[in-house]
Amino acid sequence: MNYKLVFRLLGRLLLMEAALMVPSLAVALIYREGDAMAFVYTIVLTAVCGIPALLLKPQRDDLTARDGMAVAGLSWVILSFFGALPFVFSRAMPSLADAYFETCSGFSTTGSTILTEIESLPRGVLFWRSFTHWIGGMGVLVLTVAILPRLSGRTAHLARAESPGPTFSKLLPKMSDTAKMLYGLYLGLTVIEAVLLLAAGMNVYDALIHAFGTAGTGGFSNYNNSIAHFSPLIQWIIAVFMMLFGVNFTIYFHLVRREKEPILQNEELWAYLGITLTITLIITFNILPQTKEGFFTALRNAFFQVTAIASTTGFSTANFDAWPLLSRVLLMVLLCVGACAGSTAGGFKLSRVLLLGKSAYRDLEHTLQPRKVAVVRFEGKPVQESTLAQLGVYLFLWLGLAGCGTLLLAVFQKTDLGTAVTATLTCLSNVGPGLNRVGPTGNFAFFSTPAKVLLSFLMLAGRLEIYPILILFSPTVWKKN
Amino acid sequence: MRIVVIGGGKMGSSLALSLIEEGHDVTVVDRNESVLQRSMDTMDAMFIKGSGVSANTLKEADVQHADILIAATMGDEINMLSCLTAKRLGAQYTIARIRDPEYLTSLPFLQKELSIDYAINPERATAREISRMLRFPFAGSIETFARGRVEMADFRAAEGDPVVGVPMREMYKKNRHLPQVLFCAVERDGEIIIPKGDFVIQPGDRVHVVSDVATITDFFIALGKGTTSIRSVIIMGGSRIAYYLASMLLGMKIKVSIIEINPEKARRLSEMLPGANIIQGDGTDQELLESEGLTDAHAFIPVSDRDEENLMSGFYAAQRGVKKVIVKSSRDNYSAIMHNMGLDSIISPKTVACNSILRTVRGRASRSYAAVERMYRLMEGKAEALEFIAEATADYIHVPLRDLSVTNDALIAVIVRDGQVMVPFGNDTIEAGDHVVVISRRTGLSSLDQVVKR
């Protein structure tokens, strides 16, 4: 590892985080609820830790792929720590472990909370809690690449490690232009949503909080009963935007440039829309008997919950834990699959599922016709065999983490099987709620400290797609070179 | 500018890397997935898999909006077709690598019919470069500016040279007989230094000097490095470079022998080059070299396709006292080693072609009048020598140099006004239309305003 360069990059990221806390400080100053000093302390402390690292002069500025990945993993661990400090200093959360869990949940856009009572907290703190969703959604490394002058010629590694999906596609030749374009689209969509929410009757503060929560596909709300607090119109708006933020941002790029062809060819997009609508209809009819208010309420609740889980946002308007088994199972399947690659959503990613399915079909065909030479095609292009092999490995790692996570959770916390399995999956998939005790009405407060640390780790691993977090455990990464 | 490079091979990737350094938006197209994978880690460019002759691939690379398309694949025909297709799709300017000697005579109308704005033949350009170096055997390399009025030459300082051990400001006080040239750059231990007043040249440094043609020649005579002209040359390897070079040298009435191991190739060379002495044999065989008169030859030029063989026989020839040895080597990473071992003249077709393409690109990129007239890269691009024409409206015009601030890593080497070459001092001014030669450690300069400010 090129320590000097890595530290310099981390120093920059800390300063970036300090700067990103300034809006929250401003909110705290506006509402004067006693949390402003918590932000002042954190900003000063973060900057003080970040500045010395900037003075380092690395001899070589070439960032290897391995170092890039390690920086991505390390930076998320460290940023979550510093991001947790406002919660600690303002005494909004009982312990550092709780605050760390909440911040990881924020940055990784999970939206699982340890808070049992949200509405009484100072608004500056709640603003920061939701703002972490917005930063984590598109990624802080991508933001650094977009707005800071480059430190190394190979920044592609950084943004690639942070961007979800089996392959990273650049929109423009230069990495920094691509990052700018991504953030531009992201900001634009967020603003549109906030304006619509305002028009639908939300106040400015709530509109921002919920726009952040939707854009990052996070799911923190500042109300105890989440989106059920608001009118049906607002619920529809948020549901539609949750679906939109689960779409690969490349689609919006093509939309802005008025290019039809790549959008029509995008199999993942059409599969995503198709699955969302089909499952919405199934669940609507499944929950219709127990919905007293009639068909449209059932449809609204079903659509909202399907988009909330599929896009891995995790807002809720209804207690889906009380729904029939079929609906709950369908939601849990969506929870694992997640939405499109290249979106702000988490999960295993639909394109991976599609590719694995196609590859399985091809291999099945191969057993019947051993001499047949067949290529797996995706979105009109043949897929490299090495990509397919990597997918298998990723599937193994993902399932392995889910299995080991559940196992360890069983060691750290006494609870029922449904809670343990869905808590692990929801954290790994960055969704938020699970079933039983971690269902939409429950929360994560009851978990023991080691269990919270384990779940924080799973959230970061899920957000960064496992490798950047996992390689931090490899001694070769830490060897000086 | 938006630039599409077809072909991610040795030349394509090295070009793309330089273009990215200069801030252009680069898209690389290659058919080979593994080539793209490798480049993806080191290059901040967009990569498209596909063939450069397919309109679909070119569209995907967005050639419709490209300012320049550079076709640098192995195949001449592919390159030509890429240019044609890209031009039809809307690319502004096309550059093709065309290297087959067979196309040489038809090139003018091929270029016109196929919409190739600029055709580069790396081997021919290399041969031209070698023939130029042979005209000035005393220097490791020589570059010309201002339509040949100004020259920049380099030599390796040796123990006992009058320029060694003297601070720059006392150079001409101590050496009154030495013709006045400008010491513009010194390479030492892989670093390039722009010498200031208290800089002292040490033995082993590679020193670049600039002046007008006559003074440069006098300077080398005064240094005792002499200038006898080259009258007989041995070329090792019957490559394309050898063919182009031999025809150029024969035109200059220089005796040429080419050693080629492959009998068929040797025969074909003999057919194509009636005036040359073609020898069929192994050019690395020392006995053969001796019997063909290596020690009597004025220059030995190994240009075979195998760099390692070129190097070995180059070393052998230098050791046997051949006055001028020019080695062709396509690998950049060897040149530092070769310099250290005493081979000063190394030439790489890839670098020659890249430089000439970069010059064209920069010429198109800079919209201002003070465009780059000529550009040379020193030491694998660690520094550059550039020629600008001063713009009438610029704010540095007619101001004594001492009142101007010149960026720290650059040096104004010479000013050429109405054909007069002068090494500038504090009282001199830059006037509109002057040719100004600048040596800069910062690469990618595209206008004189970036160097001098008021």
Please give the residue range of the domain that contains residue B149: 132-222
Taking the Cβ of residue A172 and every Cβ of chain B, the question of whether any pair is shorter than 8 Å is answered with yes
Q: Kindly report, residue by residue over B268-306, the tens digit of the pLDDT.
A: 999 989 989 999 999 888 888 888 888 888 899 999 989
* Longest Cα–Cα distance in chain A: 74
Taking the Cβ of residue A384 and every Cβ of chain B, the question of whether any pair is shorter than 8 Å is answered with yes
Same domain for B107 and B7, yes or no, is yes
Same domain for B341 and B442, yes or no, is no
Q: Are A138 and A241 in contact (CB under 8 A)?
A: no
Q: Which two tokens stand for residue B70?
A: 């550079």
Contacts 24+ apart (CB under 8 A), B34-37: B35/B8, B35/B9, B36/B8
Taking the Cβ of residue A154 and every Cβ of chain B, the question of whether any pair is shorter than 8 Å is answered with yes
Same domain for B6 and B116, yes or no, is yes
Taking the Cβ of residue A375 and every Cβ of chain B, the question of whether any pair is shorter than 8 Å is answered with no
B256 — phi, psi (to 5°)? -120, 130
Same domain for B101 and B172, yes or no, is no
Last residue in a domain, options B120, B145, B160: B120
Residues of chain B positioned with their CB less than 8 A from the CB of A170: 46-47
Is there a domain that residue B353 lies in?
no
* Closest Cβ–Cβ partner in B27, B33, B45 for A384: B33
Is there a domain that residue B64 lies in?
yes
Taking the Cβ of residue A289 and every Cβ of chain B, the question of whether any pair is shorter than 8 Å is answered with no
Domain with B428 in it: what CATH number?
3.30.70.1450
> Among candidates B54, B66, B77, B72, which has minimal Cα distance to B16?
B72
Per the CB < 8 Å rule, is B41 touching A172?
no
The model's pTM is: 0.81
Same domain for B16 and B116, yes or no, is yes
Taking the Cβ of residue A177 and every Cβ of chain B, the question of whether any pair is shorter than 8 Å is answered with yes
Last residue in a domain, options B95, B120, B145: B120
Torsion B50-B51-B53-B54 (CA) sign: negative
Is there a domain that residue B355 lies in?
no
Q: Which two tokens stand for residue B136?
A: 């000035």
Is there a domain that residue B354 lies in?
no
Taking the Cβ of residue A149 and every Cβ of chain B, the question of whether any pair is shorter than 8 Å is answered with no
Nearby residues of A429 by Cβ (< 8 Å), 6 or more positions away: A312, A335, A336, A338, A346, A347, A348, A462
Among A residues 307-326, those touching chain B with beta carbons less than 8 Å apart: none
**CA–CA min distance A87, chain B (Å):** 39
Same domain for B218 and B234, yes or no, is no
Cα–Cα dist A23/A254, whole Å: 32
Same domain for B437 and B392, yes or no, is yes
Per the CB < 8 Å rule, is B41 touching A153?
no
Q: Are A315 and A224 in contact (CB under 8 A)?
A: no
Reduced 3-state DSSP string for B67-125:
CEEEECCCCHHHHHHHHHHHHHHCCCEEEEECCCHHHCCCHHHHHHHCCCCEEECHHHH
Same domain for B308 and B238, yes or no, is yes
pLDDT of residue B370: 43
Is there a domain that residue B137 lies in?
yes
pLDDT of residue B161: 83
B4 — phi, psi (to 5°)? -110, 125
Residues of chain A positioned with their CB less than 8 A from the CB of B47: 170
Taking the Cβ of residue B225 and every Cβ of chain A, the question of whether any pair is shorter than 8 Å is answered with no
**CA–CA min distance B4, chain A (Å):** 10
Q: Kindly report, residue by residue over B12-55, the tens digit of the pLDDT.
A: 998 998 898 888 899 999 998 888 888 877 788 888 888 999 99
Residues of chain B positioned with their CB less than 8 A from the CB of A154: 41-42, 44
Same domain for B244 and B215, yes or no, is no
Residues of chain A positioned with their CB less than 8 A from the CB of B42: 62, 153-154
Query: Domains in chain B: how many in total?
Result: 4
One pLDDT digit (tens) per residue for chain A, 481 residues: 888 888 888 999 999 999 999 999 999 999 999 899 999 999 999 999 999 988 888 777 777 778 888 888 999 999 999 999 999 999 888 899 999 999 999 999 999 999 988 999 999 999 999 999 999 999 888 888 887 776 655 666 777 777 777 777 778 888 888 889 999 999 999 999 999 999 999 999 999 999 999 999 999 999 988 999 999 999 999 999 999 999 999 999 999 999 898 899 899 999 999 999 999 999 999 999 998 888 999 999 999 999 999 999 999 999 999 999 999 999 999 999 999 998 999 899 999 999 999 999 999 999 999 888 888 999 888 888 888 999 999 999 999 999 999 999 999 999 999 999 999 999 999 999 999 999 988 889 999 999 999 999 999 999 999 999 999 998 988 887 6
pLDDT of residue B235: 94
Residues of chain A positioned with their CB less than 8 A from the CB of B26: 173
Is there a domain that residue B126 lies in?
no
The residues of chain B scoring below 70 in pLDDT are 226-228, 366-372, 379-380
Is there a domain that residue B361 lies in?
no
Domain with B90 in it: what CATH number?
3.40.50.720
pLDDT of residue B369: 38
Same domain for B210 and B242, yes or no, is no
Same domain for B137 and B215, yes or no, is yes
Q: Which two tokens stand for residue A343?
A: 């979106």
**CA–CA min distance A257, chain B (Å):** 12
pLDDT of residue A58: 77
**CA–CA min distance B360, chain A (Å):** 21
Taking the Cβ of residue A37 and every Cβ of chain B, the question of whether any pair is shorter than 8 Å is answered with no
Last residue in a domain, options B63, B96, B120: B120
Is there a domain that residue B365 lies in?
no
pLDDT of residue A30: 94
The total of other beta-carbon atoms located within 10 Å of residue B54's CB is 15
Same domain for B281 and B375, yes or no, is no
Among A residues 46-65, those touching chain B with beta carbons less than 8 Å apart: 62, 65
